């Protein structure tokens, strides 16, 4: 297994679509280069903001091939290979490895309730089926299953290629426990914030960065949080972290993934809408989003 550092700002890259909801390959390639030019530390194909929940297996394979080809090893490529069942997750994970992904991000199985022992066995089986680093992905509001800190620690200690965890619970104490329980285990283990408002707090407590949906809209700004922190300029990092709050406040108007994709379109990137039915916000939300983007531009976000 090659050594790949799991750190920095990694955008869960949008999946651009044409009017007929087919994959817009040219725009996907453009978005890969847009992110890399902004200084991101990796590209995450079909994460939550990439509409993994709305893509077929065949489309995921298509997208990953495009992303790997366009990235050309300039940054690591993460692939979101988590599915409902262990069997399907292993199948997609093996394909991702063959295609050339560098890291797998495996979301907690969803819809059906799972015990912590079942989650442990699931991740153990997936990790042992591949020769790639695996990042656990906890997002209980979407999956209905929460990956407990003790389970993360157990997996980190027991399975050599489970090397990170992304926490999108929004509960900072949960993420902090991920960090605390995976320190001093005899290997590097990276905890990444999946909540963009908690990237700096995570870094300050020993986290390694964030998988940041807002980077699809303001990639330079999101990268600056990490760069300011690693340069030791904490005050600057705090200022940049706080600057994205006004945009995130718009998430109350609808599905955050939808808001992010619409915002990217309003700023000139023809990524198309999210796949139906997750594609609209109210007229009130659209007006608020447009005003917010104008304010963000005036504040220097880009």
Percent of the chain residues topping a pLDDT of 90: 99
- Domains of the chain with bracketed CATH: 8-233 (3.20.20.70)
User: Looking at residue 281, what is its pLDDT?
Assistant: 95
User: pLDDT at residue 192 above 70?
Assistant: yes
Digit-coded pLDDT (tens) for 155-183? 999 999 999 999 999 999 999 999 999 99
As a whole number, mean pLDDT of residues 124-152 equals: 98
Digit-coded pLDDT (tens) for 222-231? 999 999 999 9
Residue 110 is a catalytic residue: no
User: pLDDT at residue 136 above 90?
Assistant: yes
Of the listed 7, 166, 176, 261, which one is catalytic? 166
The neighbouring-strand residues paired with 211 are 10
The neighbouring-strand residues paired with 138 are 167
Residue 166 is a catalytic residue: yes
Of the listed 137, 178, 226, 253, which one is catalytic? 137
User: Looking at residue 3, what is its pLDDT?
Assistant: 82
User: Looking at residue 2, what is its pLDDT?
Assistant: 66
Q: What's this model's pTM, rounded to 2 decimal places?
A: 0.97
């Amino acid at each position: 297994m090659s050594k790949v550092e799991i750190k920095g700002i990694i955008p869960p890259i949008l999946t651009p679509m044409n009017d007929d909801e087919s994959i817009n390959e040219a725009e996907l390639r453009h978005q890969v280069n847009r992110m890399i030019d902004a200084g991101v530390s990796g590209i995450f194909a079909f994460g939550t903001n990439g509409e993994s929940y709305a893509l077929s297996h065949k489309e995921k394979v298509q997208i990953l091939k495009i992303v790997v080809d366009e990235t050309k090893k300039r940054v690591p490529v993460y692939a979101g290979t988590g599915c409902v069942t262990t069997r399907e997750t292993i199948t997609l994970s093996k394909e991702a490895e063959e295609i050339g992904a560098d890291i797998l991000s495996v979301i907690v199985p969803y819809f059906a309730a799972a015990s912590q022992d079942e989650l442990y066995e699931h991740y153990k089986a997936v990790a042992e089926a591949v020769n790639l680093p695996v990042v656990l992905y906890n997002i209980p509001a979407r999956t209905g299953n929460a990956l407990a800190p003790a389970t993360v620690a157990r997996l980190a200690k027991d399975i050599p290629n489970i090397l990170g965890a992304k926490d999108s619970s929004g509960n900072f104490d949960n993420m902090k426990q991920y960090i605390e329980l995976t320190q001093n285990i005899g290997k590097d283990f990276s905890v990444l914030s999946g909540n963009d408002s908690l990237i700096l707090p995570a870094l300050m407590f020993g986290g390694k960065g964030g998988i940041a949906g807002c980077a699809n809209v303001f990639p330079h700004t999101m990268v600056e949080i990490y760069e300011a922190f690693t340069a030791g300029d904490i005050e600057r990092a705090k200022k940049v972290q706080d600057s994205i709050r006004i945009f995130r406040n718009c998430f109350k108007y609808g599905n955050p993934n939808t808001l992010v994709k619409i915002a990217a379109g309003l700023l000139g990137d023809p990524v198309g809408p999210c796949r139906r039915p997750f594609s609209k916000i109210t007229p009130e939300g659209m007006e608020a989003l447009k005003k917010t983007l104008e304010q963000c531009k005036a504040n220097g976000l880009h």
